Amino acid sequence: MTPRKPKRPQLPFSDRPSPSSPTLAFLTELAGDGRALEFAIGTGRVGVPLRERGVPVVGIELSEHMAAVLRRKIDEDTLPVVIGDMATTVVPGGFTLVYLVYNTISNLLTQDEQVECFRNAARHLEPGGRFVIELGVPPLRLLPPGQVAVPFDVSERHLGFDTFDLVEQILVSHHFTREGEDGPYRRENSRHRYAWPAELDLMARIAGLELERRVADWNGSPFTQDSTKHISVWRKPA
Ligand SMILES: C[S@@+](CC[C@H](N)C(=O)[O-])C[C@H]1O[C@@H](n2cnc3c(N)ncnc32)[C@H](O)[C@@H]1O
């Protein structure tokens, strides 16, 4: 049987593409002559090549393990990383750019934590500085009434589907990955709080930031009602 692989126009949690040059160009332009702070820098997928383009980058990361993987690529003086929660951790100095990509604001599972994250971004920005988020649009149009799950991958070795708690705005991605030729299947889940762009705009207002731009991808394509993700830029008033 030919494996079916439904298009998953939503939060691409399971693949980690290298950042494209439009991503790096977008962030480099916004950083200007200043410094950039990456919330949840992970293994430096974006932060390391951005630093290599000449932008001074500092990272905040919750996981010591992820930071250790980053450290194999670049030394502490060139790209400092502070271990802590992006919603509350404060690093010294001002920044022209704070960015949080790859859907990672959804790792904060309550509205309060997400608001704190916006406040923390604003705290680090110099006047005129920008906060950038990359996030999927909640894929609720794929969930008709009565349906409990939305598949996003049905292939030989992997079955993946999302379930939703519409009251708490929680999406759980379920992964069943076959180990070896005949199994067994390894099961993994990840929980995320989804938020509409308009809710993020209110969080930004609470933090004293103004929406400057919203586009559908790093190339700057227009954001429309069919867009499956957005790149949003909020600005701290000068
Ligand atoms: C999907 S990865 C993205 C990493 C990187 N930004 C990238 O684009 O490749 C999510 C990262 O967020 C980190 N993370 C999750 N919650 C966090 C929090 N509250 N504060 C800081 N980092 C967090 C995880 O440890 C993980 O490294």
Residues with CB under 6 A from ligand 1: 16, 40-42, 45-46, 60-63, 66, 85-87, 101-102, 104, 107-108
Has residue 16 got a pLDDT over 70? no
Residue whose Cα lies nearest atom 6 of ligand 1: it is: 41
What is the CA(107)–ligand 1 centre distance, in A? Answer: 8
Q: Which residues, in sequence order, are bridge partners of residue 149?
A: 163
How far is residue 26 from each of residues 54, 88, 89, 98, measured CA to CA in Å? 14, 26, 25, 13
Has residue 11 got a pLDDT over 80? no
Has residue 7 got a pLDDT over 70? no
3-state secondary structure (DSSP) of residue 100: strand
Residue whose Cα lies nearest atom 25 of ligand 1: it is: 63
Domain ranges of the chain: 16-137+195-235, 140-192
Where does the pLDDT of residue 131 fall: very low under 50, low under 70, confident under 90, or very high at 90 and above?
Answer: very high
> Tens digits of per-residue pLDDT, 52-66?
999 999 999 999 999
Residue whose Cα lies nearest atom 8 of ligand 1: it is: 102
How far is residue 122 from each of residues 19, 110, 180, measured CA to CA in Å? 25, 19, 48
SS3 of the chain: helix, strand, coil, percent, to 5: 25, 30, 45
Query: Beta strands 36-39 and 158-165: pairing type?
Result: unpaired
Select from 3.30.70, 2.20.25, 1.20.5, 3.30.420 the CATH code of 140-192. Answer: 2.20.25
Residue range 16-137+195-235 in CATH 3.30.390.50: no
The pTM for the full model equals 0.92
> Tens digits of per-residue pLDDT, 137-167?
999 999 999 999 999 999 999 999 999 999 9
